[in-house]
A and B are shown apart, each in its own frame.
Chain A
Amino acid sequence: MARYAMTIDLTTCVACDACVLACKMENNVPDGYHRDWTEQKLTETPRGLDLEMFSNRCHHCKNAPCVAVCPTGASFVKDGIVLVNKDLCVGCRHCISGCPYGARYFHPAGYVDKCTFCDHRLGSDREPACVEVCPTSSLVFGDVNDKNSEIYKLLKKRDNKVLKAEKKTKPKYYFLVSTVEKAKRSVA
């Protein structure tokens, strides 16, 4: 059985928002809403400033709290992808507060919407819109159960982490740790 997942490479993402705009057009996300977004985190280390930039979205958790709290079964998991059946969604929004990543929004048409990994493209030769557009090629999508897949190999090869591991939701959006070698930096 397939288990779809995604990686983001912290070596290369510049948080440019191309992924956000491509997603909005591909999925008809209404103005003012988004299924993915970008973040920048500045930290100060003994070696100097450190800037982490990444695109963010639903983490498609294996133990998805949004699915657990959904009273109608509208939220469900298929091949590792967390989805919403909008016909079953009653708009109670428990899933929105249940999501540790803030990855869901209430669509003005009256249901909860979120990243689908562009599941409508599965089986075609197209990648999810965010992956395709990314000018820095920071996103990789694929089946982690397929040992020949690029994502499987990347996760074997590269140090990676997940966000909010302590929530024990087993997210499937992996952050590949930056490989940039950094000299001790002067601070302005």
Chain B
Amino acid sequence: MTQLTRRKFIRITRSAILGSAAVAGSSLIMSRPGESAIGADGKTGNSSDEMVIPSYCDVCFMGCGINVTVKNGRAVKIEGNPVHPISRGKLCPRGTGGLGQLYDPDRLKTPLMRVSEDKFKEVSWDEALGFIAEKMKKIKEDYGPESLALLKHGKGADQFVKLWHDLGSKTEGHPSYAQCRGSRDAGWSLTFGKNPGGIERAALDKAEVVAFIGAHLGENMHNVTVQDYTTGLRNGARHIVVDPRFSVAAGKAKYWLPIKPGADIALLLAWMHVLIYEDLYDFEFVEEHTIGFEQLQSHVELTTPEWAATYTGLDAEDIRNTARELGEAVPNAFIFPGRRFAWYGDDTQRARAMAIINALLGAWGSETGIYLGDRIRIPKFPFPESHHEAAHALDVKYKYPLGQSTPVQDIIEASIPGRLKGGWQNAPVKGWLVYSTNLVRAVPNPEIIAEAAQHLDLLVVVETMPSEITGFADVVLPDTTYLERFDIMNAPEWKEPFVSIRQPVVKPLYQSKPGWWIARKLADKLGLGEAFNYDNFREVIEYQLNQLGSSIKDINSKGGVLKKEFEEPTMRFRTPSRKVELFSRQMLRAGYDPMPRYLKHPEPANGFYRLLYGRVPQHTFSRTTNNSMLMEVYPENRVWVHPDIAAVHNLKDGDYVVLKNQKGVRSNRVKVFVTKRIRQDCVYLPHGFGRTDRRLTRGFEVGADDNELLTEYKLDPITGSTGSQVNCVTFV
């Protein structure tokens, strides 16, 4: 086999696919027994009767319960599942529009293999998987199993994780760590010994006062979080929104603090100062549960509101008043944890500052703050024991002793010979399997992905849609959508413990196959088939439900959800001191500041504006920007520009502009939204647009992509979080 080059990103277009190779006849393509949709009544999705099948959503990763109406084998409606604890019969627009993903005519339909620098051909599953297995074996032989990396997102990746462990590789990463929640969770864990949860365990419905630091609920539409957030508003909760932008949440808040970007820690230190020096903190909680209060007290002695005002651009009185608003509501006040936390490279410290304030407010473990959850443990399926001691291509604990996972960008860089410095690389990374994550739109400085791709011996992408990352692949495998497959059940830690089922509501379209099937077939070809002791993942779910005293039939008769009584967990802090650590000795020992300090970040150059990015309610990352239903309600992103800045650059509302960053990288053209809802020193661009794959008939070159402009990032030394709000743009 000749070495393939991937110098050119291939848009999977009709012309780029050689012919239309006949792939019929392969038994692998046929639908397997048990893969058809099963309703609560045991009927399949192909019955002519209308029926409603419960499952859980995957348009984002919260796992909301859905009820899908299926008529004559076609899904016609998705609604919130009324018995599901994190849906309560309601859904966000993205979940409601999930059928646009299932029935997207642009979906990947067959396995594709690269045949030259700019051509793919359609192949059978057997050929595609045979090719991948041979390459994987070769990499394992030549370099060791840890040279195979799994880059993934979501529940569908579960059986690939198993396959990787069976192979002997622990080289895994997901952008939801270093690009999103990693630094947040680390900061909270360093303080409380535990993070605030994948679905934040935040009593937005019960607190009297809540502060949001850039968190933009209402634009971020995580269903149950927004439900609780608006219940709070209805009950008269007073909100403090700290954001350079007048977000939707700012529009519903008592206070909007239009902070200068990058100065959040200064504000947080000033809040600590007021809480401590005006005796507005929760004495009992601090006395009983924390260590390091005295150090903290002297640490923030001089960080007064007046001190913070000079850095934050805020009025000192506003800083003082908002701190008092929080402190006077103790213990019914908290700071919301927030997500997409990778901003300025001091992100773990920002999370620490927020966690410390929550400790001062006595919010941890409180019913009106960051409460403790309970969960149902999903029983383990009796897979055969793996014989391997799995190894990792990187010595992550050496590089990030207090980190919690592997930053994806480090795995990407480890694929480029000689790139990673510091002697923490155990083995080269030679092969990637990318499951359901469009890395090119998730990881900053995306050019490095193109560079890494040149050095790989194998790049497999499993996806439902053509995307920027599929363009770099050797082999593209068409995944099923969440509406066509079984996946592991969802049982998050929550105030109402539950287990919910994901199951096919229709048969897989085209030749798409679920992740578990692909992993299982690949295991067969790798000689690891025995480790997958099931024929259909349905058996795994059935077994686990049986262990819980239920069955697929039974859980469906209960609306797709099993619940148990909430058992109040005891408040335990899994920190070295077994206390809430306001002062962190383990951070000090590892060479980090034991308490957060404010560090000034560089200002944009003259004529440049800091590029901020975020969500709109109708879209999830770049996953939905070809979904016909969601594109109809939110068809194109716009760049937010303050009227003063628009005047300087002679821009009018609705004009198209191109954004150019500090390095000269240019965006696709994007409409200008002239608004006083943003500060003069920054612009704002909703994420996920400006798609470059021509096959995306609705998303192609519509709006601009923020990620390609994020050519720089500031690394958080504690977690490897990629602080990406350090890029600036101007207009051309």
Q: What separation, in Å, do the CA atoms of A26 and B67 have in the docked complex?
A: 13
A186 touches B257 (CB 8 A): yes
Q: B92, B675, B676, B679: which contacts A16 (Cβ < 8 A)?
A: B92
CB of A4, distance to nearest CB on chain B (Å): 21
Residue of A nearest to B253 (CB): A180
CB of B226, distance to nearest CB on chain A (Å): 5
A133 touches B233 (CB 8 A): no
Say whether B513 faces chain A, with CB atoms less than 8 Å apart.
Answer: no
The CB with the most chain B CB atoms within 10 A, among A24, A53, A185, is that of A185
B226 touches A181 (CB 8 A): no
B96 touches A133 (CB 8 A): yes
Main secondary structure of the interface of B (DSSP, over half): mixed
Q: What separation, in Å, do the CA atoms of A163 and B121 have in the docked complex?
A: 58
B676 touches A9 (CB 8 A): no
B89 touches A17 (CB 8 A): no
User: With A22-B79, A132-B79 as given contacts, are A17 and B618 in contact (CB-CB < 8 Å)?
Assistant: yes
Say whether A1 faces chain B, with CB atoms less than 8 Å apart.
Answer: no
The count of A-to-B residue pairs whose CB atoms sit within 8 angstroms is: 142
Say whether B633 faces chain A, with CB atoms less than 8 Å apart.
Answer: yes
Main secondary structure of the interface of A (DSSP, over half): loop
Say whether A99 faces chain B, with CB atoms less than 8 Å apart.
Answer: no
Say whether A109 faces chain B, with CB atoms less than 8 Å apart.
Answer: no
Residue of A nearest to B248 (CB): A14
B221 surroundings in chain A (CB, below 8 A): 14, 16, 18, 135
B239 surroundings in chain A (CB, below 8 A): 180
Residue of A nearest to B236 (CB): A179
Residue of A nearest to B256 (CB): A185
Residue of B nearest to A18 (CB): B93
B227 surroundings in chain A (CB, below 8 A): 135-137
A49 surroundings in chain B (CB, below 8 A): 246, 251, 256, 676-677
A17 touches B617 (CB 8 A): yes
B258 touches A186 (CB 8 A): yes
The 8 A CB mask of A121-147 against B (1 = contact, 0 = none) is 000000001001111111000000000
Q: B90, B248, B617, B629: which contacts A132 (Cβ < 8 A)?
A: B90
Q: What separation, in Å, do the CA atoms of A129 and B90 have in the docked complex?
A: 10
Segment at the A interface, from B298-306, B313-321, B340-348, B392-400: B313-321
Q: A50, A132, A186: which contacts B80 (Cβ < 8 A)?
A: A132
Size of chain B's interface in residues, with CB distance under 8 A?
A: 57
Give the bracket for the number of chain A residues in contact with chain B. Answer: 35 or more
A87 surroundings in chain B (CB, below 8 A): none
Say whether A11 faces chain B, with CB atoms less than 8 Å apart.
Answer: yes
Say whether B219 faces chain A, with CB atoms less than 8 Å apart.
Answer: yes
B248 surroundings in chain A (CB, below 8 A): 14-15, 51, 53
Residue of B nearest to A33 (CB): B632
User: With A22-B79, A186-B257 as given contacts, are A14 and B226 in contact (CB-CB < 8 Å)?
Assistant: yes
B90 touches A135 (CB 8 A): yes
CB of B241, distance to nearest CB on chain A (Å): 10
Q: What separation, in Å, do the CA atoms of A16 and B236 have in the docked complex?
A: 21
Q: What separation, in Å, do the CA atoms of A9 and B231 have in the docked complex?
A: 12
CB of A110, distance to nearest CB on chain B (Å): 22
B99 touches A188 (CB 8 A): no
Say whether B78 faces chain A, with CB atoms less than 8 Å apart.
Answer: yes
B254 touches A183 (CB 8 A): yes
Say whether A96 faces chain B, with CB atoms less than 8 Å apart.
Answer: no
The A4-44 residues at the B interface (CB cut-off 8 A) are: 9, 11-12, 14-18, 20-22, 24-26, 31-32, 42, 44
Q: B89, B321, B680: which contacts A183 (Cβ < 8 A)?
A: B321
B99 surroundings in chain A (CB, below 8 A): 25
Say whether A187 faces chain B, with CB atoms less than 8 Å apart.
Answer: yes
A16 touches B254 (CB 8 A): no
Q: Which residues of A contact B (CB under 8 A)?
A: 9, 11-12, 14-18, 20-22, 24-26, 31-32, 42, 44, 48-51, 53, 129, 132-138, 178-183, 185-188
A-B contact pairs, 17 of them (CB 8 A): A12-B234, A14-B226, A15-B617, A18-B90, A22-B96, A25-B78, A26-B77, A42-B677, A49-B676, A51-B246, A51-B252, A135-B90, A135-B92, A182-B253, A183-B321, A188-B677, A188-B678
